[in-house]
A and B are shown apart, each in its own frame.
Chain A
Amino acid sequence: MNIEQTENTAQVEMEICATCSAACPVHTSTREYVDLIAQGKYEQAFEKIREFNPFPTVCGLICHHPCEEACRRQNVDESVALRNLKRFAVEQALEYRKRLRKKAEITKDQTVGVLGAGPAGLTVASDCIKQGYAVTVYEALPRAGGMLACAIPKYRLPDEALQADIDDILALGIEVKTGMRVGKDITLDELKKKHDALVVAYGLSDSRSIPIENKDHQNVLLAIPFLRSAALGEPVEVKENVIVIGGGNVAVDVARTAARLGAKTVKMVCLENEEEIPAWDWECREALEEGISIIYRQGPTKVVVEKGEIKGLVTREVERVFDEEGRFSPTYFDDRLTTIEGQMVIITIGQMSDLGSLEGTDVKQDERGRLVFNASQMSTSDEGVFACGEVVTGPGSAIEAVASGHRAAKAVMGYLQTGGLQTITDEEVEEVGELPEDVIENVRRIQRLAMPTMSPEERKKSFAQFEFGYDEKQALQEARRCLACTGGAIVDEKKCESCLTCLRVCPFGVPAVDDVAVMTSDMCQACGLCAVECPAAAISIKRFSIGDVEDRVVALVNGSKKPVTKVEFICSQDAGSGQELQDRIEVLDGDVIAKLPVTCAARVTEVDMMKPFELGSDSVHVQQCKECRYRGADDRLFKRVERTRSILNAAGIDGNKLTVE
């Protein structure tokens, strides 16, 4: 999590979380992994992501990215493309992650059984085995992954992508029994005897239907079985004109899948209008691009069947979807009927769990057929049986299922350790405030990089992944758009002299100085200028170490096989590859050059510039980026270079050996 721990004594200690992390259901430390990408440390970025989430590949492809919706960069131009960056980090770690795979050490006698191998179930399993509990996962389907495996179309989540995450999780030593349906192949009682705790993570594996005329016609399909067949590669025949009832994300998946399976026209019919439609706007946009039409504000009334064949769907116009209190309560104009032509209807109006296997057990259901569930303890009505994921949360996203899995794992392990139920409290975080107007004005506008994709015409021809992913240059460029919220200045109050230097040099007007300097996280852009200029060395930057440049110079120069003749400090803002972001030695025209990328050239201090000469280098060069994003930083750098030149002259070294450009 992006937590800023204030180190001072007078300010009340508090944790401040970046909006992206706060919005993420598992509080992924977004700023940190984006920063690692920007530094070319892709494998570390991958590890940072996985610290919070065992499904990094899945989330890099299909996450509904609440982080992006919360990104403060939106107030400047557009949010940072965090999901695309996550995908990039994952793609750079394909081999690396395999090398990390190893079995967890089983240190506990108790074992955990997990019912369902979807994202929630596998998260519980992963968390528990990492803490030393042996875990067995029981999955009714022939493969692990749950809805990710059998309901998310391949053009969004290819098999191999999902499998990479699953392979990592299972490599911990989790036993998965696929094709094992509880209630049929094994009973709940048997499982209870076998394990010390059970977790029901069934998901929502069945589709709901609607009571309309001819709903049982063979060409009236339900969404989940339809998607499952398509995902598992079973033969699915679609008709020429397909009507999809529903306006959720699953409806969009169904419509786009039908189009890929050969339907000439696909029409989505939903109760809501364009603003109310529950599917994500980008999903709808992509569907529309692929030629799918969305018919808003129509409620299905009957499937028209003539001579045994479906001819269309009769709908009536919706008057309203929600009542005055915002509850779902649609009303219709009964006299405004429309017939939509089509030969196949797919109902996509919601999902439900198949809880048949729990009938007659102590895991009770309420009068509406839902699990009796204590959300604060993640417990069911049966002691030692817990639940998580969509079976208890209702329809949600993959990352929400992961979050639910983490909670259940805490509850299970608490129970196994104490024998009692634990109340699971979510980590409370204080979110960084809004970006103030005057800061927004000073932040340079940088266009968000669109994800390269296949043309709509191409992509609807197959189930091939239609988004290509960023290349390295694009990823670096996009990662550098991050405002590094909460990664900025921290004042050591014991050292601060209230000299006002920080206030006078900050490009964003962040510091306020009273008894000591106070850096407001809401405003700080983590450029580091204040820290470099502070005469008391009282400011550190959470995002990077100010003193590290000198240490890196020493390590690089002393580590070089050939004597270094020139040291170059290069602003990393223009780097187009990870190679350019590494400390390295290059030989050019007889010069042995030590190259050090720095987050901003204005971070290079007088000491940094002098050090290479002490180490034997003949010259030093500071290379700025093409367009500094921090107003006034270059002027500060030039002044510092001038001063260092005069010190060099005084020390008997030609000051002109230090150059800046």
Chain B
Amino acid sequence: MIVAESKPLAEVFGFIENYKRVLVLGCGECVTVCQSGGEKEVAVLAQALRLKAKTDGKEIEFLENTIRRQCEPEFVDPVLQDISDVDAIVSIACGVGVNFLAGRLGNVPVFPGVNTTFMGATVEHGIWAERCAGCGDCVLHLTGGICPIARCSKTILNGPCGGTNEGMCEISTEDNPVECGWALVVERMKALGTMDKLSEIVPPKDWSTSRDGGPRRMVREDLIIKKESPEEAKA
């Protein structure tokens, strides 16, 4: 899932303090699961903003709503049609949702209520960790299913480096323990009996599929039916 965490209240309030009628808009997908952007968090943020507005002497009305997914036109558009009277939106969907709304809203500004952090998994209730960097050229088949891009602090493909220390990365602290991604790869490959695979020479990774190639887009031609223009239809 895409993991996000709440922005500091003051920062969010700073975005909207000069508006009168603000919609706090949640998303019912990933950010609900990681407890930062679902219906419950919408209520908490809206209430926190009301308090902040009161202490700052501002009169702002906060509305609340949650969309199933803020990244689909069919889910978003009906809600946007109903909110023509709001001055601003605070979206607590991931950055995708904020982008998506911004592209469909006329003169109503949309502000992020969360910081979108990573693609990750639940470690335990309340702890999430990054597991994928979305590089677009998956190498997991070479590394026993442990991603060196996402889980090695240096994103190196020939680790572990000298900073590994009893399975932990050198950047690890007590508050933020970071496992050495390559130590995990090695342990996993040992367990699978496939350590020899690590000796194989592989071609350099194609980073153009990652951010290096600019904004990415995926097209499935088999799913697209080109709509006829009126002229074509007539002919």
Contact = CB atoms under 8 A, between A and B. Distances in A.
B21 interface: no
A504 B9 contact: no
Interface residues of A, number: 25
A497 B40 contact: no
B28 A610 contact: no
16 contacts: A497-B29, A497-B32, A500-B122, A535-B33, A537-B39, A607-B47, A610-B47, A610-B48, A614-B50, A647-B48, A648-B51, A650-B10, A651-B55, A652-B51, A652-B56, A653-B55
Nearest to B48: A647
B99 interface: no
A292 B141 CA distance: 85
A605 B47 CA distance: 11
Nearest to A532: B40
A501 B8 contact: no
A499 B51 contact: no
A493 interface: no
A499 B33 contact: yes
B35 interface: yes
A606 B47 CA distance: 9
Contacts of A605: 43-44
Interface of B: 8-10, 28-29, 32-33, 35, 38-41, 43-44, 47-48, 50-52, 54-56, 66, 122, 125
A208 interface: no
B8 A650 contact: yes
B17 to A, nearest CB: 13
B125 A497 contact: no
Interface string A590-634: 000000000000000111001101100000000000000000000
Give me the 9 closest cross-chain CB pairs, A-B, nearest first: A652-B55, A650-B9, A537-B39, A535-B38, A651-B51, A499-B33, A651-B52, A504-B125, A607-B47
Contact of B39 (A495, A614, A653): A495
Contacts of A650: 8-10, 48, 52
B56 to A, nearest CB: 7
A501 B35 contact: yes
Contacts of B122: 500
Contact of B33 (A497, A607, A651): A497
A109 B35 CA distance: 64
B52 A535 contact: no
A500 B125 CA distance: 9
Nearest to A499: B33
Q: What is the predominant secondary structure among interface residues of chain B facing chain A?
A: helix
A648 B9 CA distance: 10
A171 interface: no
A536 B38 contact: yes
A358 interface: no
Contact of A614 (B35, B40, B44, B51): B51
A537 B38 contact: yes
Contacts of A647: 9, 44, 48, 51
A651 B55 CA distance: 7
Interface in A480-537: 495, 497, 499-501, 504-505, 534-537
A535 B51 CA distance: 21
Contacts of B50: 610, 614
A533 to B, nearest CB: 8
B55 to A, nearest CB: 4
Nearest to A503: B125
Given A500-B122, A537-B43, 14 more contacts: A497-B38, A499-B33, A500-B125, A504-B125, A535-B35, A535-B38, A606-B47, A607-B44, A613-B51, A614-B54, A647-B51, A651-B9, A651-B51, A652-B56
B35 A652 contact: no
B49 to A, nearest CB: 8
Nearest to B38: A535
B10 A611 contact: no
A606 B46 CA distance: 11
Contacts of B35: 499, 501, 535
A647 B47 CA distance: 10
B51 A653 contact: yes
Nearest to A535: B38
Nearest to A504: B125
Nearest to B55: A652
